[in-house]
Chain A
């Protein structure tokens, strides 16, 4: 052991920020000399000491600094370990979900490679921390926004979609979908890519982000020349649907679905989304729950709404009774 607790002078262990800084400098030097194991153990020891003294701010500073350093030195296991501890301190100390702390989460999520399983544990713990805040949805959305953008930069478009769908960042979502479609999709799917996401946003009762996503996509996609109105009928359907949800007129919604039936048939899952949208925006009464196991479409919606798979990680914006 190059450094030990006894080698630190009392002043360095003091609660003052100056003391913490000197400890951090010593630990940083240790990491830079390649003494990763010792440094990791030391971070953990100091973390337990700070927590027993209820020095939460010092613990946060220590863990964030240590996790960043170790991850930057490609020590992913120990770096992810300290990251998870950091998310736990956020929870136990009820640290305010401020921009500064959300950015810490985003930075560490970015530094942990996607193949490290602890990345998901860290994210789940961070979302649990945001869940404790009142109101939680703002903070949860913001974490999803940051994580979605990190995954977009990694070209993990499906992961990016999953998280941006739970954010309020339609501009990023629209731009990401343009890139996803032009790099990975078929030319014939130019309208389907945005339709799928806009309908999913509407199922989450997030009309404003649905709308921003739609306009960001149609305005910036190189294959969509003009509009509205558009050359592709499905894009016109989305454009008019986004107007219709404001009026809430069921007759208009019904006519739109009938007129555009041939386009909507292209992807069978759109019927499921539109049933939900009818309930959320147009006062359609959901059909009674059939006895026995739910049908394929019901389970499709359930899995989309995240009722079964992900309840600890992400309480969905729509509650269980709305889905059932």
Chain B
């Protein structure tokens, strides 16, 4: 979804530079690759097996 105009007015002023920079960084972000097993084990559907 496209970001609505005027979002800068909604958040505290000192957040704006951080968020502006992150918008730029996310444009260059590489697509997410496959997750490790260790990460996937934290997802809920696998939780039932956690103790073993």
Contact with A along B28-52 (1 / 0, CB 8 A): 0100110111110111111110111
Known contacts A159-B51, A258-B3, A259-B23; A252 and B10 CB within 8 A of each other: yes
Report yes or no: A186 in contact with B10, Cβ–Cβ below 8 A.
no
Total contacts A-B at CB 8 Å: 105
Residues of A within 8 A of B46 (CB): 158
Report yes or no: B15 in contact with A240, Cβ–Cβ below 8 A.
yes
Report yes or no: B39 in contact with A192, Cβ–Cβ below 8 A.
yes
Residue of B nearest to A177 (CB): B42
Report yes or no: B36 in contact with A184, Cβ–Cβ below 8 A.
yes
Residues of A within 8 A of B11 (CB): 240, 252, 255-256
A184 to B35, CA, bound (A): 11
Residues of A within 8 A of B42 (CB): 158, 161, 193, 196-197, 200
Report yes or no: A114 in contact with B52, Cβ–Cβ below 8 A.
yes
Q: Is the interface of A mostly helix, strand, loop or mixed?
A: helix
Interface size class of A (residues with CB under 8 A): 35 or more
Partner of A269, one of B4, B22, B44: B44
B37 to chain A, nearest CB (A): 7
**Is A300 part of the binding interface, using a Cβ–Cβ cutoff of 8 Å?**
yes
Report yes or no: B22 in contact with A184, Cβ–Cβ below 8 A.
no
Report yes or no: A259 in contact with B39, Cβ–Cβ below 8 A.
no
Report yes or no: B43 in contact with A309, Cβ–Cβ below 8 A.
no
**Is A291 part of the binding interface, using a Cβ–Cβ cutoff of 8 Å?**
no
**Is A157 part of the binding interface, using a Cβ–Cβ cutoff of 8 Å?**
yes
Residues of B within 8 A of A215 (CB): none
Q: Which A residues are within 8 Å of any B CB, using their own CB?
A: 114, 119-120, 151, 156-159, 161-162, 180-181, 184-186, 188-189, 192-193, 196-197, 200, 229, 233, 236-237, 240, 251-252, 255-256, 258-263, 265-267, 269, 300-301, 303-304, 309
Q: Which B residues are within 8 Å of any A CB, using their own CB?
A: 1, 3-4, 7, 10-11, 15, 18-19, 22-23, 25-27, 29, 32-33, 35-39, 41-48, 50-52
